[in-house]
Amino acid sequence: MVNVLGISTHNQQPTADVRHREWIPAAFVGMKKEYKFMKGVKGHAMIMLRVFNYQYKSPYNDVLNMRVGFEFPQKRKRKSDHEK
């Protein structure tokens, strides 16, 4: 038995029917903040509030959600004048 973050993983069964999937409409409002994390790495953080939960089927358990992401830009090779 493994206990991770207070959740027991001993003999857990999937709670969702994996054979049946459907689109669930939802609506969120919130704020987004973009920032420079390191040289050449951008980051963003979003705090969102779920304001619409169609028939209480939302896959998000919490009303308040937070997302954090990072962007690692890749350098593109420049084409020389004769390759255009």
In contact, 28 and 46? CB cutoff 8 Å: no
Q: What is the reported pLDDT for 13?
A: 52
Distances (CA, A) of 40 to 10, 32, 36, 76: 43, 20, 8, 14
* Whole-prediction pTM: 0.53
Other C-beta atoms closer than 10 Å to the C-beta of 26 total 14
- The DSSP secondary structure of 51-70, one letter per residue, reads EEEGGG--S--SSEEEEEEE
Confidence at residue 43, expressed as pLDDT on a 0 to 100 scale:
94
Distance of CA 65 to the CA centre of its chain: 9
Question: What string of pLDDT tens digits covers the 84 residues of the chain?
Answer: 445 455 545 554 555 666 777 888 888 899 999 999 888 899 999 999 988 887 777 777 788 999 999 998 887 777 766 655
